[in-house]
Amino acid sequence: MPPDKVKKVLTTKDRKPRYFYGWNIVAASFLANLSYAETHTSMLGFFLKPLQNEFGWSRSALAAVHTIARVTEGLVAQVVGPLVDKYGPRVLMPIGGIVVGLTMLGVTQINAIWQFYLLRGIVVGIGFTFMGQLVTQITINNWFVKKRGRALAIAQIGANLSNIIFTPITVFVIATSGWRTMFVIFAVVAWLFVLIPSVIFMRRRPEDMGLHPDGVQPSIAEAKSKPEENEHPISEAASALEPIWSRREVLTTASFWLLTACFGIHAMASQGINISLAPYIQDLEYTDVTLTAVMTFRAIIMTVTLPLMGFIAEYAHKVTVRLMPFIIECVGAFLFLFAREPVFLWLAVAIYGLGFIALDVIQAVVWANYFGRFSLGLVRSLATMATLGFGATGPVAMNIAFDLVGSYRPAFVVIGGLFIMAAFIMGVVRPPQARRYATAAEIMTSARQ
């Protein structure tokens, strides 16, 4: 072939396409996140008083449904995570959307606490695991390497918009039509925003479509180098050759357990705050209008700062970036102690929300950076079991404290200490060294054999 034609072929091959299909994955994940409103612990807090008034159940008994849901999600994640690695989200997410929608309708017919636990706790927990952020974050991390922080952040905006949109809707609907009507709305939203987009757009990883992460094809030299041999941990090389982990290898890696403990302790603290925030504000005798405004303000703060947090998360290989969210959340937790004064309430909500959303993005990036793309479902599923177990105790402990002393204030002090503990663990954990590495082509060839 003449040299000029060779040059033309190479130029065409290396040219970056104008539009990368991975952004379709982000868009579908964004819509799925938009339907997650009811699973947020802060949103569940709006239902505590109505259910308590109608059925006479204590707050700690009601908060236990969150614990049941988290434990269920942790158990189901052991199956879902490896399924995402093997089959991708296109089948899993529609199943989850159908289950969640039907079960939300079933919740409207409950008249006993065990029915609430079964439907809202167990069955909804199963459905959310199939359609939730475990699936979408793993998929996005498969499609993006250099830009995974901003891609995850854009998708996460959907979850925060759901809080902005559904916080005033939930307060209004519960006040005017009752809590059952709101569960019907949640069912319809799950069907609209999960079923169709996931079937049309979601795919497992770019290599299945003849593409590469971020839409950029790595060079031959990069493809032959291990990720840790590059100067930057988030390099194009990672899109060609990445670590492969077995279940046994993951469970015998110190880095896995340190990250799991770190994020688990954080989940315990943050979920305790999230589910109790609405009733705490009500207990301080703020009006429903103020409550709605404060919760909406928190969601807005988290939404508008998400793109920035996405860019920052792409530097999560720096320890200062990884520690930042925990410190910010700790400050916010202590400010809640002074929330009887409106200025401190608004300040606490803003600062805590900023730290919470930063950690949400950075956590997803850290798991992918440390363990690679190809076994990420396995790794995340194993971690989910522990982190959700930790997180499940937060809401119950927070509300047991309230039932015992009639105040959430002592719990906020403990929560601040938990954030500091998590920050310390994050400061000492280092990326693990895998025994095996492979390319996507090798993975696909192995699967066909």
Residue 8 lies in a domain: no
User: Does 340 score more than 80 pLDDT?
Assistant: yes
CATH number at residue 192: 1.20.1250.20
Three-state SS at 244? strand
Tell me the pLDDT band of 66, cut-offs 50, 70 and 90: confident
Residue 137 lies in a domain: yes
Predicted confidence (pLDDT) per residue in 300-339, tens digit: 888 899 999 999 999 998 999 999 999 999 999 999 999 9
pTM equals 0.77
37-57 mean pLDDT: 80
Q: Of 8-17, 272-281, 368-377, 440-449, where does mean pLDDT reach its minimum?
A: 8-17
Residue 211 lies in a domain: no
Total domains present in the chain: 1
The torsion defined by the Cα of 285, 282, 354 and 412, in degrees rounded to 10, comes to 90
Residue 2 lies in a domain: no
pLDDT above 90: percentage of residues in the chain: 48
Q: What is the pLDDT of residue 7?
A: 40
DSSP secondary structure of 373-415? STTHHHHHHHHHHHHHHHHHHHHHHHHHHHHHHS-SHHHHHHH
Predicted confidence (pLDDT) per residue in 249-275, tens digit: 999 999 999 999 999 999 988 888 887
Whole-Å CA distances, 35 to 198, 224, 334: 13, 41, 31
Task: Classify residue 38 as exposed, middle or buried by CB count within 10 Å of its CB (0-12, 13-18, 19+).
Answer: buried
State which residues form the domain around 341.
21-206+235-448
Question: For residues 80 and 77, what is the distance between their CA atoms, to the nearest angstrom?
Answer: 5
Residue 213 lies in a domain: no
User: Does 419 score more than 80 pLDDT?
Assistant: yes
Judge contact between 30 and 373, C-beta under 8 A.
no
Structure tokens, 378: 């396995």
Question: For residues 333 and 331, what is the distance between their CA atoms, to the nearest angstrom?
Answer: 5
Tell me the pLDDT band of 364, cut-offs 50, 70 and 90: very high
Residue 10 lies in a domain: no
User: Does 6 score more than 60 pLDDT?
Assistant: no
Among 212-216, 316-320, 441-445, top mean pLDDT goes to 316-320
Beta strand 242-244 pairing with 436-438 = antiparallel
Residue 412 lies in a domain: yes
Residue 76 lies in a domain: yes
Predicted confidence (pLDDT) per residue in 381-397, tens digit: 999 877 877 777 777 77
